[in-house]
Amino acid sequence: MLLHLGTRKGYLALRRFGKGDWRSERTAFIGDPVSQLLPDPRDGRLYAALNLGHFGVKLRVSEDRGASFTELPAPAYAKDETSSEEAPSVDLLWCLEPAGPDPGSLWCGTIPGGLFRSDDGGRSWALNEALWNQPSRERWFGGGYPHPGIHSVLVAPDGERVVAGVSCGGVWISEDGGESWRVRTEGMFAEYMPPEQREDPAIQDPHRLAWCEADRRRIWCQHHNGFFRSDDGGETWTSLDVPPSSFGFAVAAHPGDPQVAWSVPLVKDECRVPVGRRMVVARTRDGGASWETVGRGLPEGDSFAVVYRHGLDVHPGEAVLAMATTTGALWISEDLGDSWDLVTAELAPVYCVRFDPP
């Protein structure tokens, strides 16, 4: 079992040799922020998105599972002939996903809000105009960044059904591979907005979306305002009360059981630390009707750990969980979250963890 990590200071891959025994197998881009990774289950390629502080976003691909990388053109906006100072430029490559069954078809969600598609393994990219030109996009705004961004793109195996999460711009659904989109946030609300905007779909802030691969009607959403569940593929949403707090960034869905999901709660938006400084994972095993806080082995207190949106992953075959923090710790659970082993506490802040596909 192999785990890929993108951190503030580079990429590393760790291999499992036994329970709690994960060893660094390779590193790359040491010193450079790695914002996202995609170990592609279709052809074994490994894509790495970088965010070089001075020199912009970059995209690299490895044909040898991370031993060496070559540069690809990163998604970019077409030149705006008005030369406006507001004309967009990609600030962050925030998510990378297969766009369907064809190897080389990719979605890339970015800040400031563009969804880009490649059909040639990243050698060229096109902005998805259908989403970019939605009139309500003018009401999107940044959450934690100066501009809005697309952080979650769920794609059905045939590539037709796509569900995209935008911070802050709602949940967008396509049934035709991105040719057309509709926003669906019924049931979501944002108490921190002026009253007339609280249910506006275009201002909702889903922090992260995750669906159950065995039943894609079941989608979990960690939202800025709470935790939501959909039973109908994202058409409507139900608010859930997650202890010890419904605020957080990450969410993971069990690949085979639509009743099981995990989140990593924090106090609240204005105080982003574990509740009581005690790091826990919230888990439901009954579809969100009830939750338990689990985390034997995690720090008992004094924790400032935050798990970012892409900092929690579940192995698609083995239901092993990996969780990595802004404080540079990597935790693994092999019993659905009941207990956790610390693999290392010496990483840079971690942006993303992804298991290598089986």
Partner 1 sequence: MPSVHFTPNLRRHLLVESTEVEGQTVSDALSRVFRDNPGLRSYVLDDQGRLRTHVVIYVDGRPVRDRTALGDAVGEGAEIHVMQALSGG
What span, in angstroms and rounded, lies between the C-alpha atoms of 154 and 107?
A: 10
Q: Which stretch binds partner 1 (CB under 8 A): 50-58, 149-157, 277-285, 314-322?
A: 50-58
Please choose, from the candidates 23, 39, 119, 77, the residue with its C-alpha nearest in 3D space to the C-alpha of residue 353. 39
Provide, rounded to whole angstroms, the least separation between the CB of residue 167 and partner 1: 21
Per CB under 8 A, 145 contacts partner 1: no
146's tokens: 């100066």
Per CB under 8 A, 87 contacts partner 1: yes
Burial (0-12, 13-18, 19+ Cβ within 10 Å), 301: exposed
Provide, rounded to whole angstroms, the least separation between the CB of residue 324 and partner 1: 23
Indicate the residue among 6 and 88 with the shorter CB distance to partner 1.
88
Instruction: Report how many residues bind partner 1 under the rule CB under 8 A.
Output: 20
Per CB under 8 A, 28 contacts partner 1: no
What span, in angstroms and rounded, lies between the C-alpha atoms of 120 and 125?
A: 8
Q: Which stretch binds partner 1 (CB under 8 A): 80-88, 211-219, 261-269, 321-329?
A: 80-88
Per CB under 8 A, 113 contacts partner 1: no
Provide, rounded to whole angstroms, the least separation between the CB of residue 114 and partner 1: 10
Per CB under 8 A, 85 contacts partner 1: yes
Q: Which stretch binds partner 1 (CB under 8 A): 70-78, 166-174, 196-204, 211-219?
A: 70-78
Q: How many CB atoms lie within 10 A of CB 30?
A: 11
The alpha carbon torsion through 85, 87, 90, 91 (nearest 10 deg) reads 40
Peptide bond just before 244 cis, omega within 30 deg: yes
Indicate the residue among 73 and 243 with the shorter CB distance to partner 1.
73
Indicate the residue among 116 and 249 with the shorter CB distance to partner 1.
116
228's tokens: 């939501």
Strand order through the sheet with 226-230: 206-212, 215-223, 226-230, 238-240
Furthest-apart CA atoms within the chain: distance in Å? 58
Per CB under 8 A, 223 contacts partner 1: no
Provide, rounded to whole angstroms, the least separation between the CB of residue 73 and partner 1: 8
Residue 301, amino acid: G
Consecutive H or E run containing 155: strand 149-155
Indicate the residue among 27 and 136 with the shorter CB distance to partner 1.
27
Which of residues 41, 43, 73, 256 is near partner 1 by CB under 8 A?
A: 73
What span, in angstroms and rounded, lies between the C-alpha atoms of 138 and 128?
A: 16
Per CB under 8 A, 193 contacts partner 1: no
Residues that bind partner 1 (CB under 8 A): 52-56, 58, 71, 73-74, 76-80, 83, 85, 87-90
